[in-house]
Structure 1
Amino acid sequence: MDTSYLLTHLGEEREDYYNAVIPPIMQSSNFAYNSLADFRSAILNELDNFVYSRGNNPTVAILRQKLAALEQAEDALVFGSGSAACAVAIISQLQAGDHLLSVQSPYSWTYKLISKLLSRFGISYDFIDASNLQEIEAAIRPNTKVLFLESPNSLTFELQDLAACAALAKKHGIRTICDNSYASPIYQNPIALGIDLVVHSATKYLNGHSDVVAGVVCGSKALIQKMFELDYMALGPAISPNDAWLLLRGLRTLPLRIQKSNEHAKKVVDYLAQHPKVDYVLYPGHPSHPQYELAQKQMSGFGGLFSVNFKAKRIEQMERFSEALMPTFLLAVSWGGFESLQVPTACFYNLGTAPPPPLPFSFVRYYVGLEDPDYIIDAFEKAFVHLED
């Protein structure tokens, strides 16, 4: 299906709402029926009908169609956050006594879900180097039910061979789930590579305006139906119609935004990779990345997110350097919007409430947005004085 068609027209039955070009926000909590038979039929299949907006809603339904099509999936569910999407996707495939395998360094709240919450309900787990198929196979137990992947992850950008992981998991009857937030459906489609369920933090590229927190799970109709009927409806993580409408607005420009961010990031990464004050750059789209060939094989682009380790001797140098980059790079989490962002690891040192992170204080994650790359490079040029001895 053509991406332009699905982003602009798919699911938009304009004759149903007065031929308005943009679909309305159907801000109703519930829906009435004209007969008991129709009401009963809707209750029996709430995923495809409208009874109560905790389950399905007309504005959300349009969004679900577009997201599923983008991921080459049969159906999708939309959540109030990416963490909720990951949690429900994982929980829906497990029960007490099961075992889960996960990549070594998933998103922090996914890590906490697995290590802190699931273990309270009798679910065991192992974090593994999922770039190594032999390590995955060696960790599989008779009760292993889920292999959770995140390719690339959003800090140090390790990848997994998704097609190989999917084939291995299928051989053992294991369900695969992949967090695809880094690449977006524009640059990677895990379902096409054999993955069962794909999750997104829709807060990032899918929305793209830094004004909505949301999540997505895409998969087969059967898996989505099963998830919806119990886990989704019982936990109640639905997105509001207003936020769904904002996501629809964001999707219109998704290919344009991520392509421009990709172009800008490549230019900035090329500049940083050769700078004498840079130790190394981590960006799957740069030849220096240790899994560059795999990235080229299963991704068609890389977006604007990368990390840099600088040659700084003291944490005070990094603090001054990071502050000198403001406001070109805002000090903020997340990514995928118009604005460029930075998350310096130095910020997590000397907190007094937790041990320092495993990464050095000289490590910084950057997101390059839609600003001119020469403007961004100029900001780095001026800030590098703070790393001089």
Structure 2
Amino acid sequence: MTTVPEPPTTVGAAIPANTPHAVSVMFPKWQDNIYYEEGNPIVTSRMECGYPRFFIHPFIQKLCTRLLSKYGKPKESAILFPSRKIAERCREFMKRYYSETETVRIVELKFGPYEKYPAMPIFMVVFPEDGFKVAKQFWQHSGDILSSRMAERCLEVLDQQEKEEQEQEKPLPMGNRGRYARKKQQSPELPSGEERQVEAAQYVEERYGRNLPIEFADQAKVALRRRIAGILATESQHIQDYQKATESELESQRALQGDRGIKGLSEQDVYLYPCGMSAIFHAHRCAMAALDSSRKSVCFGFPYTDTLKILQKFGAGCYFYGLGEDKDIDEVEAKLKSGERILSLFCEVPSNPLLKSPDLKRLRQLADEYDFIIVVDETLGNFSNVNVLQHADMVVSSLTKVFSGDSNVMGGSMVLNPNRKHYQAIKAHQDTEFEDLMWCEDALFMERNSRNFKARSKVINANAEALCDYLVDHPKVDKVFYPKFVCRNHYDAVKNPSGGYGGLFSMMVKNEKAAQQFYDNLHCAKGPSLGTNFTLASPYTILAHYTELDWAEEFGVSRYLVRVSVGLEERDHLLKTFGNALNAIDV
């Protein structure tokens, strides 16, 4: 089982500590989160990293700065993307939401092939400095982001090129001049003089069976897609074993309906994306391609923030039912009966951060009767706990979370239900539009991390349930949001027989001061993200809705809500940790 690292304690430290591509960052005090949201350098200047859709990774920032110095003009800014299609979509987005659109341009660059790595196309969208905020919104909402590992390799190529240019400019020593003189082979100089450390880390990853060599990236993606489809007969530790599975063996797994209980489902129905929000963004694009794109969508339940933004800003707009309760389904049905046609309905099972689950069976019946598409985000439930694909046209997930667990790689997935009416139309769209943009190194890390996904999920389920059972009866806790206590009938309707209630919960104490005291005295990792192998807490509403706190309150999302993602720590240790933090409340 995974060893749980000790959390860092200093503001801005990477979580996990000393992890160059970490996807969370330490905010040890409540006030640190407010400083971050306000852009206060007390916090922002000390950040080693952040959640990559919100805080552009330092490697990407450095690469962008160097490219802009070569191809930009004074008072221009830029943002980098991994494909031309994405760059063009960013430019189109800026045409809608930025006034100086005539000055937005795309610069195309290509790095490599480099050593064992494939060619790395980079598309730089360049614009006046005041356009960065709008371009960053596209980066955040769409999730079609550049991999920090790919940016790291591009920096190595730049360093190598610059070194070679410097060598060419130097006069050769007298004894080496002439037709037989040979230039010494140079190894690339890594940023910050870290060459030896990076080489050692790569050696350990490959030599001791943690990560496979880069040559296995394509096979890793196949293994990931089969694992996500739930059609692997075993949880093998080695990708070579996956490749031994014959097509007839895989077909027999599909006939048995696999882990997801969907007959005919195969890895060909699974698509990998740079992150979970990218999968949601492209699910919306699929729906618009399959049906009449002039229809509005429905956002059902209070979702993670960017899902709603995607539905509002791309396409015809959406109807928002923020409570996501049975009476809201009544309203949706009434709207449909009145003649309104909708494109799609997006929901989460359970929702983030209130852990509500909708009545999927009833929603499916409406979708079949009134011809709209259902997209379910299963990130919090995860397919080892819940079977939501049976009611959906598409299921999306952030692989960054519990599927990976190690908090060191981004990824997302979309799974199509092959038995739904609009499957062929969605498939046809994907056949022409899908781009495989999961960087090869990210695929290797994701494959390695997810090998023990099911075993970790069971431990996390048990830890979270024990902790919530303790908290729900604690005198200093006002409310616990957890699928066992919230909309349980709807969650249980899709819960697998061997599944649990997941590893995420939210809690509220008496007031904001009590929440601050609790948070400040909670000894665990504290920052954005969830689904990590270690317990991770955050004042969710402060981080996700700081500029719209009153609006969030309307849907029961309190400004002093604390969201907790439970990890693999010893259960007694977790109970003691939370008990000590609650004892620190003196208001």
Using the size of structure 2 for normalisation, the TM-score is 0.52
Answering whether residue 292 of structure 2 is matched by residue 98 of structure 1, we say no
1:67-216 map, 5 Å: 67-69=228-230, 70-71=259-260, 72=262, 73-74=265-266, 75-94=269-288, 96-115=293-312, 117-118=313-314, 121=315, 123-128=316-321, 129-132=323-326, 133-140=329-336, 141-192=339-390, 194-216=391-413
SS, match of residue 355 in structure 2: coil
Q: What residue number does 1:360 align with?
A: 558
Answering whether residue 442 of structure 2 is matched by residue 248 of structure 1, we say no
Q: What residue number does 2:586 align with?
A: 388
Answering whether residue 514 of structure 2 is matched by residue 317 of structure 1, we say yes
Q: What residue number does 2:482 align with?
A: 283
Which moves more between the two structures, 300-309 or 79-88? 300-309
Question: Structure 1 residues 355 and 251, CA, compared in 2 at 3 Å: closer, same or farther?
Answer: closer
Contact 1:156 1:282 in 2 (8 A): yes
- The CA distance in 2 between the partners of 1:125 and 1:266, in whole Å, is 35
Render the CA deviation track for 1:358-388: whole Å, top value 9, x for unaligned: 2334321111100012112112222223322
- The CA distance in 2 between the partners of 1:220 and 1:243, in whole Å, is 26
SS, match of residue 342 in structure 1: strand
Query: How many angstroms does 1:349 deviate by?
Result: 11
AA aligned opposite 1:324? N
- The CA distance in 2 between the partners of 1:346 and 1:178, in whole Å, is 22
- The CA distance in 2 between the partners of 1:220 and 1:164, in whole Å, is 18
Q: What residue number does 1:267 align with?
A: 466
AA aligned opposite 2:430? F
Contact 1:319 1:346 in 2 (8 A): no
Contact 1:155 1:365 in 2 (8 A): yes
SS, match of residue 387 in structure 1: coil
Q: Highest Rg: 1 or 2?
A: 2
Contact 2:301 2:347 in 1 (8 A): no
Q: Please, which of 196, 213, 221 is the counterpart of residue 60 of structure 1?
A: 221
Query: How many angstroms does 1:324 deviate by?
Result: 0.8
Which moves more between the two structures, 83-92 or 156-165? 156-165
Contact 1:88 1:227 in 2 (8 A): no
SS, match of residue 379 in structure 2: coil
SS, match of residue 384 in structure 2: helix
Render the CA deviation track for 1:281-321: whole Å, top value 9, x for unaligned: 11112xxx241222222113112100111123xx3432232
AA aligned opposite 2:286? S
Query: How many angstroms does 1:155 deviate by?
Result: 0.2
Q: What residue number does 1:225 align with?
A: 427
- The CA distance in 1 between the partners of 2:227 and 2:583, in whole Å, is 47
- The CA distance in 2 between the partners of 1:338 and 1:191, in whole Å, is 25
Render the CA deviation track for 1:143-186: whole Å, top value 9, x for unaligned: 31211121111200111122221122011111111000011110
Query: How many angstroms does 1:336 deviate by?
Result: 1.5
Residue segments in structure 1 that go unaligned for 5+ positions in a row: 1-25, 31-55
AA aligned opposite 2:532? G
AA aligned opposite 1:82? G
SS, match of residue 579 in structure 2: helix
Q: What residue number does 1:40 align with?
A: none
Question: Structure 1 residues 387 and 258, CA, compared in 2 at 3 Å: closer, same or farther?
Answer: same
Contact 1:318 1:346 in 2 (8 A): no
Contact 2:349 2:376 in 1 (8 A): yes
Render the CA deviation track for 1:20-77: whole Å, top value 9, x for unaligned: xxxxxx95459xxxxxxxxxxxxxxxxxxxxxxxxx9443233222212354433100
Which moves more between the two structures, 125-134 or 366-375? 125-134
Question: Structure 1 residues 376 and 238, CA, compared in 2 at 3 Å: closer, same or farther?
Answer: same
AA aligned opposite 2:376? C
Question: Structure 1 residues 96 and 171, CA, compared in 2 at 3 Å: closer, same or farther?
Answer: closer
Query: How many angstroms does 1:223 deviate by?
Result: 5.5
Residue segments in structure 2 that go unaligned for 5+ positions in a row: 1-115, 121-216, 231-258, 419-423
- The CA distance in 2 between the partners of 1:290 and 1:204, in whole Å, is 22
Render the CA deviation track for 1:96-138: whole Å, top value 9, x for unaligned: 41221121311111111112x22xx4x1310125432322212
SS, match of residue 198 in structure 1: strand
- The CA distance in 2 between the partners of 1:126 and 1:274, in whole Å, is 37
Q: Please, which of 524, 528, 531 is the counterpart of residue 336 of structure 1?
A: 531
- The CA distance in 2 between the partners of 1:146 and 1:350, in whole Å, is 25
Question: Structure 1 residues 307 and 102, CA, compared in 2 at 3 Å: closer, same or farther?
Answer: same
Q: What residue number does 1:293 align with?
A: 489
Query: How many angstroms does 1:266 deviate by?
Result: 1.0
- The CA distance in 1 between the partners of 2:534 and 2:353, in whole Å, is 18
- The CA distance in 1 between the partners of 2:569 and 2:223, in whole Å, is 31
Contact 1:68 1:219 in 2 (8 A): no
Contact 1:76 1:224 in 2 (8 A): no
Q: What residue number does 1:23 align with?
A: none
Which moves more between the two structures, 66-75 or 274-283? 66-75
- The CA distance in 2 between the partners of 1:294 and 1:349, in whole Å, is 26
- The CA distance in 2 between the partners of 1:212 and 1:160, in whole Å, is 30
Residue identity (%):
24
